[in-house]
Amino acid sequence: MPRYFTEDHEWIDVDGDTATVGITEYAQSQLGDIVFVETPETGKQFSKGDEAAVVESVKAASDVYSPVSGTVTEANGELEDNPALVNDDPEGEGWFFKLNLADTGEFEGLMDEAKYKAFVDKL
């Protein structure tokens, strides 16, 4: 399953025509302790770059953007009751939502893991 990253520190795992989206370890470390997550409703459609979710920490609130276009097929309901999942496992169990992909050509502007690591190292 390929994983891509954005300059806004979202990650996206692709499995066929389904993508799982969350925030990176780096984003979580910058935010600090996550206290609230608002995920999108199932059926909501996004274009690449649209605001898709909100994450709030003790430090700040941030928007989470959709890395690609698609329709939400599932939101991580666990985050409503346990937003700390994002602190514990931001690139795993702390995922935000899943999308049915609209255009796989949109992956071209995203980074692979090596490019993302180099990007973060420059920050």
Residue 3: strand pairing partners: 13
What is the structure's pLDDT at 104? 86
Q: Which segments of 2-112 does DSSP mark as H helices, in order?
A: 25-31, 78-81, 85-88
SS3 category, 122:
coil
pLDDT of residue 65: 97
pLDDT at 22: 98
Q: What is the pLDDT of residues 93-102, one digit of tens each?
A: 999 999 999 9
pLDDT for the residue 36: 96
Question: CA of 83: how far to CAs of 24, 60, 64, 90, 94, in Å?
Answer: 15, 14, 14, 10, 8
Q: What is the pLDDT of residues 4-34, one digit of tens each?
A: 999 999 999 999 999 999 999 999 999 999 9
The whole-number pLDDT of residue 75 equals 98
Domains of the chain: 3-103+112-118 (2.40.50.100)
In this predicted model, what pLDDT tens digit does every residue of 42-56 receive, in sequence order?
999 999 999 999 999
pTM over 0.85? The answer is yes
Q: List pLDDT tens digits, range 55-78.
A: 999 989 999 999 999 999 999 999
